[in-house]
Chains A and B, each alone.
Chain A
Amino acid sequence: MTEKQLLLGDHAIALGALHAGLSGVYAYPGTPSTEITEFIQMSPLAKERGVHSKWCTNEKTAMEAALGMSFVGKRALVCMKHVGMNVCADPFVNSGMTGVNGGVVVVAADDPSMHSSQDEQDSRFYGKFAMIPTIEPSTQQDAYNMIQDAFELSESLKLPVLMRIVTRLAHSRAVVEVKTEARKCNSISPAENWRDWVLLPVNARRKNDSLTALQPKLKELSNNSTLNIDCKKGSPKQGIIACGIAYNYVTENLADMPEYDILRISQYPLPTEKICAMATRCQSILVVEDGQPFVEEQLLGILPTAIKIEGRLSGALPRTGELTPDNVRKALGLSAHEHEEACELVVPRPPALCQGCGHRSVYEAINTVIREKYPDAKVFGDIGCYTLGALPPFSALSSCVDMGASITMAKGASDAGLQHAVAIIGDSTFTHSGMTGLLDAVNANAPITVVISDNLTTAMTGGQDSAGLNKYEAICLGLGVDRNHLHVVEPLPKNMEEITRIIAQEMEYRGLSVIIPRRECLQTLNRKLKQKKSAK
């Protein structure tokens, strides 16, 4: 039996995973992946089955916990935004070496055009790097179906499988036909050969050989995969390879194409036989892929080929930024649809910190102290709502690189002789990746001022639980921060005098200090009040 549901791509993945007999989802929130885990947290089926869905502290702890669940024989899902793959790269790559027992699927949600990210990296490279299969759905229906295929593939190969999606699939809704019954969850059945899981060199060498030896089989699976579809009409001179969501932008234009020869790729490693077959019947191949030129580069190699390869590298498509129906249409040689020019009156409307947000008071205080006492000071920022402090009216930040980098960069700058270095980091980012850096700073007694701007939630992604809630003073003291230089303040306009005094005093101090301005995020506070009201 099936039924139709209107689902976000993220929701389709979540429901597909539940229907595949998922026992646990492990994730740290990150746009555009967050809604996968949230869907499972709200799912009655997940509740009934006791599916684990609590947020993890970061992507590395998530990946490792999933591997543990797999070791015991159950199916686990790991979800993250693309840059989360960097954080979990160590266990992710090594999970290819250990292999899996219960199925493991890792969903990496890429963000071409960086709608809410700091880079445009393409997670397909990670699948190739770890030498495991990668699945790339085109539609929400694919996402629902393929996550189930991916769990089957994972258990049959005894390897983790990577599913790569992009923002426009994750955050787009469509009607999806879904099953009304779910596969049973696996029962406990721990892996039998412990040597497979102990990556001492003696075991790792053997596993490396077997993973390498498996590669031709993965290629053969791709060649025979029903996910890699040929779609042909007539005998055009140009073949088209369209990966994942790019296939939608190509097929959108089919009505205007008298003939076409398209290979959709949704399973990697690349189906080399299918590609070679296309090369024998075409004079050129256009590669349409969202993200980086992953396929195009592999087809090009270094030495000249008889067949012309076009795509992002040749200039047929823009080198960076996401694909659109318009730039794909142009690459297909079709003329643009008639349209009006953009209106010059319209000005950008950048996002801003909410009116009344605690982060605002924190930046006002820091800026006041710097302006009045330490004009040479630098403020190192981090990832979260408070990154918006880089924009006017605050213009407070000198850097924002990756989760946790505020503390470690402030320390490095201080090591180099910068007199007054301030780090500003949110509560959730601090537990994600800031704690280890703070220990470095403690051990060096680095003369930096660390501001943990605590709004009791992971606000940027919509108010998910913050792993260190109510534990920040204990964490700092436990790491060795001097009790006399650890302050908690309430960032309200009426407390500005006290806050600026404490910041000034600690910037003057030639050792490590931590200041925790703490006030609940207005968005989560309002949501709680609304829930309370509707409960009455």
Chain B
Amino acid sequence: MKRDIILSGVGGQGILSIATIIGDAAMNKGMYIKQAEVHGMSQRGGDVHSHLRISDQPIASDLIGQGCADIVISMEPMEALRYKSALKKGGWIVTAKAPFVNIPNYPNIDAIYAELGKLGNAILVDAETIAKENQMTRSVNMILLGAAANALGLDIETLSASVARIFGSKGDEVVAMNVKALQLGAEVK
């Protein structure tokens, strides 16, 4: 099994937590992992992305080539489209629906949705609304991860175990909330 994953969003939206959970889950399945992150200046409200590769065979490159990504998971719709050219034919986009508007020239959001719609395998997750309805506004990223689980080839139990390991130090409440977020995400069709 091999998945080349691009995670994208805006600095501070929690894409690195998603990467950490997937990485932990893959490692516990004995898989190989490479995950390239962006640190430094780009984190100040700019666009951020991470290349995450998991495979049962050794992985050479830290970066994913154009047209090679199996899935783009994005915390923001325009940031999902930014990596359109990275996507493999028939690859999946799983993105949060709510735009993050912190620039004056943010494009028309309906045009963004239309572009995403043209790609075929795109899932728009209204993660923000789900989070609000369930009083878990800080777990938007885990809702999204739950929605992507199927395309990732990782089951919710495996991901939940990783959430427990990674968030364990923050207390049982935080773990329970994030596990629930994964489940809610997984129910999105």
- A339, B61: Cβ atoms under 8 Å? no
With a CB–CB cut-off of 8 A, which chain B residues contact A354?
44-45
- B24, A6: Cβ atoms under 8 Å? yes
Q: Does B189 contact A (CB under 8 A)?
A: no
Count how many chain A residues have C-beta atoms less than 8 Å from C-beta atoms of the other chain: 50
> B81-121, CB under 8 A of A: which get 1 and which 0?
11011111100000000000011011100011001000100
- A171, B66: Cβ atoms under 8 Å? no
- A388, B65: Cβ atoms under 8 Å? no
- B39, A32: Cβ atoms under 8 Å? yes
Closest to B46 in A: A351
Q: Does B129 contact A (CB under 8 A)?
A: no
B40 interface neighbour in A173, A342, A460, Cβ under 8 Å: A460
- B67, A339: Cβ atoms under 8 Å? yes
> B52-94, CB under 8 A of A: which get 1 and which 0?
0000000111111111100000000011011011111100000
- A346, B40: Cβ atoms under 8 Å? no
- A343, B64: Cβ atoms under 8 Å? no
Q: How far is the CB of A317 from chain B (nearest CB, A)?
A: 15
Known: A31-B41, A115-B42, A338-B67. A345 touches B105 (CB 8 A): no
- A172, B35: Cβ atoms under 8 Å? yes
DSSP class of A's interface residues: helix, strand, loop or mixed? loop
With a CB–CB cut-off of 8 A, which chain B residues contact A347?
78, 103, 105-107
A352 interface neighbour in B32, B34, B36, B46, Cβ under 8 Å: B46
- A245, B41: Cβ atoms under 8 Å? no
With a CB–CB cut-off of 8 A, which chain B residues contact A34?
39
Most buried by B among A171, A324, A341, A351: A351
Count how many chain B residues have C-beta atoms less than 8 Å from C-beta atoms of the other chain: 52
Most buried by B among A116, A346, A349, A462: A349
Q: Does A248 contact B (CB under 8 A)?
A: yes
Q: Tell me the A243-283 residues at the B interface (CB within 8 Å).
A: 245, 248-249, 251-252, 254
With a CB–CB cut-off of 8 A, which chain A residues contact B150?
none
Q: How far is the CB of A334 from chain B (nearest CB, A)?
A: 11
- B85, A341: Cβ atoms under 8 Å? yes
- B23, A342: Cβ atoms under 8 Å? no
With a CB–CB cut-off of 8 A, which chain B residues contact A460?
40-41
With a CB–CB cut-off of 8 A, which chain A residues contact B46?
349-352
Q: How far is the CB of B5 from chain A (nearest CB, A)?
A: 13
Q: Does A325 contact B (CB under 8 A)?
A: yes
Known: A172-B37, A351-B42, A352-B102. A345 touches B112 (CB 8 A): yes
Q: How far is the CB of B122 from chain A (nearest CB, A)?
A: 12
> A155-178, CB under 8 A of B: which get 1 and which 0?
000000000000011011111000
Q: Tell me the A351-404 residues at the B interface (CB within 8 Å).
A: 351-354, 385, 388
B47 interface neighbour in A115, A254, A325, A349, Cβ under 8 Å: A349
Q: How far is the CB of A112 from chain B (nearest CB, A)?
A: 12
Most buried by A among B10, B78, B106, B111: B78
- B78, A346: Cβ atoms under 8 Å? yes
A174 interface neighbour in B10, B34, B44, Cβ under 8 Å: B34
- B84, A343: Cβ atoms under 8 Å? yes
With a CB–CB cut-off of 8 A, which chain A residues contact B34?
172-174
Q: Does A336 contact B (CB under 8 A)?
A: yes
Known: A252-B60, A336-B66, A345-B112. A168 touches B81 (CB 8 A): no
- A336, B61: Cβ atoms under 8 Å? no
Q: How far is the CB of B9 from chain A (nearest CB, A)?
A: 10
How far does the alpha carbon of A169 sit from the alpha carbon of B10 in the complex, in Å?
23
- A173, B60: Cβ atoms under 8 Å? no
B62 interface neighbour in A4, A169, A337, A385, Cβ under 8 Å: A169
Q: Does A534 contact B (CB under 8 A)?
A: yes
Most buried by A among B45, B103, B112: B45
How far does the alpha carbon of A351 sit from the alpha carbon of B42 in the complex, in Å?
6
- B65, A337: Cβ atoms under 8 Å? yes
> A1-40, CB under 8 A of B: which get 1 and which 0?
0001010100000000000000000000001101100000
Known: A171-B36, A172-B35, A329-B65. A385 touches B78 (CB 8 A): no
- B41, A172: Cβ atoms under 8 Å? no
A351 interface neighbour in B41, B60, B62, B89, Cβ under 8 Å: B41
With a CB–CB cut-off of 8 A, which chain B residues contact A338?
67, 89
How far does the alpha carbon of A172 sit from the alpha carbon of B51 in the complex, in Å?
9
- B23, A6: Cβ atoms under 8 Å? yes
Cβ contacts A to B, 18 pairs, < 8 Å: A172-B62, A173-B23, A173-B37, A175-B32, A248-B60, A249-B60, A252-B60, A326-B66, A329-B65, A336-B66, A336-B67, A337-B67, A339-B85, A339-B88, A345-B115, A347-B105, A349-B47, A460-B41
Known A32-B40, A326-B65, A348-B103; 16 more pairs at CB < 8 Å: A115-B41, A168-B63, A173-B36, A173-B37, A175-B33, A248-B61, A325-B64, A325-B65, A325-B68, A342-B84, A343-B84, A346-B78, A346-B82, A351-B41, A351-B45, A351-B46
A-B pairs, top 4 by smallest CB distance, nearest first, are: A339-B67, A116-B40, A351-B46, A31-B40
